Each structure stands twice: as C-alpha cells, then as structure tokens.
Amino acid sequence: MSRLESNIIEVKPVDSDVVSFVESVVDSMKVRAEMNTITLHFDRENLSDDKNFGMSACFDPKWTREALSNLIDNAIKYSPDGSTVTVSIIPYEMYVAVSVKDEGIGVKEEEYTRIFDRFYRSDMVSDKEGVGLGLYLAREILQKENGYIKVKSEHGKGSEFIMYLWRG
C-alpha cells in the first residue's frame, strides 16, 4: 500500500479490452463465490457484439484486476447465502463503467465517503474478516489511471460499486 502511494509501484495504464478483462476476473472469482453459495453472474445485456467488440479503455490490467477483485470479493463477503452478485459493463463516451452489484447488507448513506478511507470499517461488518483497505486501494488505483469509483446503495438492500475506466 505504501509503495503504491509513494509511486514506488507504478500504475501503467495501457489501452486494453474491457470485456475480455472483466470476463477473466469474473471467471477467476467464481470458485470463491460458489464456496459462499453466491451466484456470480457476468451480465452481457449492454454488450452487443457489433457495437462493443474490442471495447477498450486505458488501465493497468494487473492493478485494475486487484481493484475489481476487491469489489467482487466484498460483494461476495457481504451478501447472504443464495444471493447473486452481478458484474456488468456500461460503455459511455469518455469512460467504460464496470459495475459490481450485490444483494447484501448495503451501505448507510452517511458512510458513502468514509468507506473509501484507509482502514475504515463500518460497525455493521465487524464480524467479517478484513482490515478496511480494499475500497481504499481500488480508489487509489483508479485515480492513478484517470478513472474513479462510485457507490450506490440502500441500507439492507444491497450495493452497487461502479468503476469508471477512462477511454483515453
């Protein structure tokens, strides 16, 4: 973490295919989801082959994999057994959004800004493993790539974390 913050570890964004990247990360997280009796679904509804084939953005595949894996891992960790975590891609003119939506405990509105702070953990999740670095790390990585992250949530009804990857 400190090496990332002090730029000893560099984030090197390159033009990369978003669809194959997201598919690869989702596939790598399926076993973790199944171990928690969670269905992990890659929703391709916004992707038409003719329009989005080769959809690209400018990101560092290694570090962005870390960020997306953190979001999916959190969605799995904070969702009840038998629920679904859905990952989708929404193309915009300047960004490609990658959404991770769960059916979990949600985030209280007053915590929206604090959840991205280093070591912040909500009182609601004190029984779950973690140290409060995943969302912080995701935000730091995306900022270094000219991207950003947002959250939409309703307490008790799930959350949606959206990574915006800059198209360059």
- pLDDT tens profile 101-123: 999 888 777 776 777 676 555 55
Measured between alpha carbons, how far is 72 from 38 in angstroms, rounded to an integer?
11
Look over the chain and give the mean of its residue pLDDT values, rounded to a whole number: 85
Please indicate whether residue 113 or residue 145 has the higher confidence score (pLDDT).
145
State residue 95's pLDDT score: 95
Q: Quick one: average pLDDT of 40-65?
A: 82
> How wide is the angle at C-alpha 168 spanned by C-alphas 72 and 113, nearest 5°?
45
Q: Quick one: average pLDDT of 3-10?
A: 59
Q: Which of 49, 124, 38 is nearest to 87 (CA)?
A: 38
Q: Which range in 39-48, 82-91, 154-163 is most confidently predicted, on average pLDDT?
A: 82-91
Measured between alpha carbons, how far is 118 from 137 in angstroms, rounded to an integer?
8
State residue 62's pLDDT score: 95
Q: Quick one: average pLDDT of 89-109?
A: 91
CA distances to 33, 90, 114 from 39, rounded to whole Å, are: 6, 21, 28
